[in-house]
Structure 1
Amino acid sequence: QSLCVHLNYPLYIRSVPTQGELKFHYTVHTSLDVVEEKISGVGKALADQRELYLGLLYPTEDYKLFVFAQMFRKLHNSFTDVMCNPFYNPGDPIQSKAFDSIVSTMMVQAC
């Protein structure tokens, strides 16, 4: 599952399989809060490392969510490309085929 958030509401969400997509919203928001806490708590020396493993973010009865920060960098770079598009209206849902392709590739590699 992948998500970009602006002002605490999703601009892009994708889940494979697509059924039950809404049940992941809470998990994603909670996990992103943990990512923010972990990254802000990391010293400057560690923050510069390219392979930053953030570990277990959010365990549930059905699954456990682990994160590698370099995946966020790749997602952020793609998100920046979307935001720099002069035809994109900030705040609108993201409907970019290029962004969707990057997310799909990341999801396949994570499995």
Structure 2
Amino acid sequence: MAVCVSVIAKENYPLYIKTIPTENELKFHYTVHTCLDVVEEKVSSVSKSVNDLRELYLGLLYPTEDYKVYGYVTNTKVKFVIVVETSNTLLRDNEIRSMFRKLHNAYTDMLCNPFYTPGETIKSRSFDKLVLQMMVSEVQS
């Protein structure tokens, strides 16, 4: 199951971080922060090889003993990071991609809100609800 979902701004500061085990929230902040170097490395290597058409899904950024960290970058360089428990071998690459697509669509819908200023922390209830549904649906599956 996904234990942490985060949205990172172009300038590498967190816009949104949601964790399921709230007692380890600081640990997930560190995990997300440390994966940003890997994201930048993957984005720069992809942009050098392919000029205009690049894959938004970055795949597995790095595994730890307990978690696997996956990344996704939008065309505007906003980063999505999902941390998944390593013990959950049921999640396949296609399911992770689907989670990122849902997250990207929800982020796009949230940006269309005229009362949201881009670059501010995300406080949208509908965005938060969708993220919780994604995390809980992975638990129930």
Counterpart residue identity of residue 8, structure 1: N
**Contact 1:3 / 1:12 at 8 angstroms: preserved in 2?**
yes
Q: Is the 8 A contact 1:53 1:69 kept in 2?
A: no
Structure number having the greater helix percentage: 1
1:2 aligns with 2:30: no
**Structure 2 spans left out of the alignment, 5+ residues:** 71-95
Does the C-alpha gap of structure 1 residues 21 and 5 become closer, same or farther in structure 2, counting only changes over 3 Å?
Answer: same
Whole-angstrom CA distance in 2 between matches of 1:31 and 1:70: 21
Same amino acid, percent of matched pairs: 51
Conserved in 2, the CA contact under 8 Å of 1:82 and 1:88?
Answer: yes
Q: What is the CA-CA distance between 1:35 and the residue it aligns to?
A: 5.6
TM-score, normalising length from structure 2?
0.59
- Return the match for 1:60 from 45, 58, 64: 64
Cα contact 1:2–1:13 (8 A) shared by 2: yes
Q: How much does 1:11 deviate?
A: 0.6
Corresponding position: 1:18 with 2:22: yes
Q: How does 1:17-56 map to 2 (within 5 A)?
A: 17-31=21-35, 34=38, 37=42, 40=46, 47=55, 54=59, 56=60
Q: Which has the higher contact order (CA 8 A, sep 6+)?
A: 2
> Contact 1:2/1:15 (CA < 8 Å) preserved in 2?
yes
Q: CA RMSD in A?
A: 3.0
- The 2-side partners of 1:97 and 1:80 are apart by 14
String of CA shifts for 1:25-80, please: whole Å, max 9, x gaps.
Answer: 2312344554662893898xxx59xxx793x432223x121542221111011011
Structure 1 residue 100 corresponds to structure 2 residue 117: no
Q: 1:2 to 1:18 in 2, by over 3 A?
A: same
Q: 1:87 to 1:69 in 2, by over 3 A?
A: same
Number of aligned pairs?
A: 106
